[in-house]
A and B are shown apart, each in its own frame.
Chain A
Amino acid sequence: MNQVHLNEEQFQDYAITGIADPGVMQHVAGCARCQMQIKAYQTLYSYIREAETPTLDFKTDDLIPERLPAINKEDSEEAWYLYGFLFGTVALLVAGLIGFWGTIRWVFMDITPFAIIIGLLLLSGILMTQSLEMYRNYQKKLTALNRKEIAT
């Protein structure tokens, strides 16, 4: 028989897996001291596994904030950066147009009302797609709650 006792790490691993090198297994089979240590770990693990799960002594509803959707939107920093950037760009363009109207007005002289309508339609289309995209992202996150990957 292998005379060397198992070390602490080996006790812990053996108690979890129940497997070890043949030499180690042989030693354990004939060593009461090592057997006791392994049994102690196995008992410990079973105590932890079977321990009662603590339960929160208050209602689940208490944990859901009153202003749920507002909270979701107000703090989305990235979205605010994006909006800031878009707004800034539009503001700069408008300021540029007003400031240099005298020099660049000829560009707009030949645009027909039809082209203006098309332009406005395009712009609102882009804005709507953007908002829809944000809404879908938000829904996607909530749908994720139904996935199995969430610990039950």
Chain B
Amino acid sequence: MDGDRHAAALLVRRTEKLVAQIVFKMLGNHPDRKDLTQDIYLKTFRYLPRFRFQCKLSTWVAQISYTTCLDHLQKYRPELTTISAGEELLLSNTCAQEIAGDIPDASQLLSIKERSVILEKLSTTLPPVYRTLITLFHKEELSVEEIRDITGLPVGTVKNYLFRARKVLKESLLNHYSKEDL
């Protein structure tokens, strides 16, 4: 009994950062966050006997996290989950590319906290799925194949979403700095 609880605590500790990333990126600062995270681990322990070692355990827990969050969004905020094939994510401002000035080298001196705040601000225009994919790829350094396993999206779609998300974020970044410079 104690051994099981110990192993369970170990599983939670080893995966909670990745789970937190997915939950925060998918839902933001949502009040149901705690319930959903509990739900994720409840499912994890319940389905553990069915885990067949076809992928890493962390990938499997991430997969449960992603589907749980996506189900929740589809139920309560379906508009956030619909991404049509040809949809362009447009910025509210004029094309940043044309008006942007240099990214000040002073940005290198910003603290991690300040950079996180800027990134958070830039990410608000992105749909939750895009935010999650970007984080999994660039922050958690997962491969496109691992992201495919987690999200169930085809590799081509993962690449396409990553491309579009990066483009939007880059333009937001240029926009941000050009505004700061003005």
Asked if B158 is at the interface (CB within 8 A of a chain A CB), the reply is no
Asked if B75 is at the interface (CB within 8 A of a chain A CB), the reply is no
Q: Is the CB of B21 within 8 A of A76?
A: no
- Decide yes or no: A150 and B14 within 8 Å by CB, A8-B167, A72-B48 being known contacts: yes
Q: Is the CB of B4 within 8 A of A54?
A: no
Asked if B18 is at the interface (CB within 8 A of a chain A CB), the reply is yes
Least Cβ–Cβ distance between A41 and chain B, in angstroms: 5
Q: How many A-B contacts at CB < 8 Å in the complex?
A: 153
Mark each residue of chain A from 10 to 44: 1 if its CB lies under 8 Å from any CB of chain B, else 0: 01100000000000000000000000110111011
Asked if B73 is at the interface (CB within 8 A of a chain A CB), the reply is no
Asked if B169 is at the interface (CB within 8 A of a chain A CB), the reply is yes
Which secondary structure characterizes the binding site on chain A?
helix
Q: In the complex, A146 Cα to B42 Cα: how many Å?
A: 20
* Interface hits, B42-57 → A, CB 8 Å: 42, 45-51, 53, 56-57
- Which A residues are in CB contact (< 8 Å) with B38? 62-63
Q: Is the CB of B50 within 8 A of A78?
A: yes
Q: Is the CB of A145 within 8 A of B103?
A: no
Q: In the complex, A58 Cα to B12 Cα: how many Å?
A: 12
- Which A residues are in CB contact (< 8 Å) with B16? 56, 60, 63
Q: In the complex, A151 Cα to B14 Cα: how many Å?
A: 6
Q: In the complex, A45 Cα to B139 Cα: how many Å?
A: 8
B residues adjacent to A (C-beta < 8 A): 1, 3-5, 7-21, 23-24, 33-34, 37-38, 41-42, 45-51, 53, 56-58, 97, 100, 102-103, 107, 112-113, 115-116, 118-120, 134-135, 138-140, 163, 166-167, 169-170, 173-174
In the complex, besides A12-B166, A44-B166, A68-B4, 7 extra interface pairs with C-beta distance below 8 angstroms are: A40-B173, A54-B23, A63-B16, A68-B5, A68-B8, A68-B45, A75-B49
A residues adjacent to B (C-beta < 8 A): 8-9, 11-12, 36-37, 39-41, 43-45, 47-58, 60-65, 68-69, 71-73, 75-79, 137-138, 141-142, 144-147, 149-152
- Closest 10 A/B residue pairs (Cβ): A151-B58, A142-B7, A54-B24, A48-B138, A76-B49, A63-B41, A51-B116, A47-B119, A150-B14, A52-B116
